[in-house]
Amino acid sequence: GAGVSQTPSNKVTEKGKYVELRCDPISGHTALYWYRQSLGQGPEFLIYFQGTGAADDSGLPNDRFFAVRPEGSVSTLKIQRTERGDSAVYLCASSLLGETEAFFGQGTRLTVV
């Protein structure tokens, strides 16, 4: 596709369960970012990939959160032992190396019940 694709668009899970959120960046974009947007807030940075490696994971809130990008394209954000406070919209963005414009997906709305 032409844009950043995120799946699923909505995910409802029970407290304590494990979830995976997927991001397909724009083809050829080497930089990939994950953000989290809680209700009434702006997006907050979680992690940044340059190629396959996590160049900056300073925004991950705790060790329940982990992200991978094994082939330098698709990325998966993984959340273990989900808590109600993890409920938010998780946004993915991608960009070309050195470019300042990041293109955002529509997000995955995660609800932990």
Work out whether 33 is an interface residue with other proteins (CB under 8 A). Answer: yes
Residue 1 found at the interface with other proteins (CB under 8 A): no
**19 beta partners:** 79
Q: Which is closer to other proteins, CB of 19 or CB of 23?
A: 23
DSSP code for 26: P
- Say how many C-beta atoms besides its own lie within 10 A of residue 108's C-beta: 22
Q: Which stretch binds other proteins (CB under 8 A): 15-23, 62-70, 71-79, 89-97?
A: 89-97
Residue 51 near residue 30 (C-beta atoms within 8 A): yes
Position among 18, 55, 81, 111 found at the interface with other proteins (CB under 8 A): 55
Q: 63-95: buried (b, 16+ CB within 10 Å) or exposed (e) per residue?
A: eebebebeeebebebebeebeeebbbbbbbbbb
* Residue 57 contacts other proteins per CB under 8 A: no
**Which range binds other proteins by CB under 8 A, 16-24, 39-47, 68-76, 78-86?**
39-47
Give the nearer residue to other proteins in terms of CB position, either 77 or 82: 77
